Amino acid sequence: MKRILVTPLSVIFGLLVVLAAQAEEKEIRGACRADAQKLCKGIQPGGGRLAICLKQHESELSPACRERVAEAQQQGKEFAHACKADAETVCKGVQPGQGRVLRCLVENKDKLSSGCRAEIAEGESRHPCMKDVERLCKGVQPGGGRMMECMKQHEAELSPACKAHHEEKMDGEKK
């Protein structure tokens, strides 16, 4: 039972990696970018690896990054509280890990409690590419850059909001 609770927490901590191919990179570009570059050199992004590294170096994080981590943890707790019962019933046979429980919840939205549906909708609204990932990369296993590769393959099909986000991200990396 604890594994079901931990999985949503880690997924939210990585800003719903399963649904947003760029979510972890967005997190790192923000308040934790310098910390990640300093403390997690050589860590390959994806699959929540940078989030895990930052968690391991929690005592060394900058105040801004520590605050962002605390916010992500709170979001994870709220998600877990709202969706724990749904995960235990709707996704009972799903093996936890790599976002499988979250994916199950998203794929079965119509069977979820209103509180869990609201948490998922809030998560989806945080990133402009989430609906595109869900639509275009539904069968792709997260991790190892597979989601990012899927998004690149479907670049022409991305929504205007996702394309704008990607362009903004690329401009930010050039600076």
Q: Tokens 């709202």 label which residue?
A: 82
- The residue ranking higher by pLDDT, 171 or 159, is 159
d(C-alpha 70, C-alpha 2), whole Å = 20
- Return the pLDDT at 54: 85
pLDDT in tens, 7-26: 433 333 333 333 333 344 45
Q: Tokens 């998004």 label which residue?
A: 151
d(C-alpha 96, C-alpha 53), whole Å = 20
- Return the pLDDT at 63: 92
pLDDT in tens, 82-110: 999 999 999 999 888 767 788 788 888 89
Measured between alpha carbons, how far apart are the two ends of the chain, in Å? 45
pTM, 2 dp: 0.58
- Return the pLDDT at 116: 92
Chain length of the chain: 175
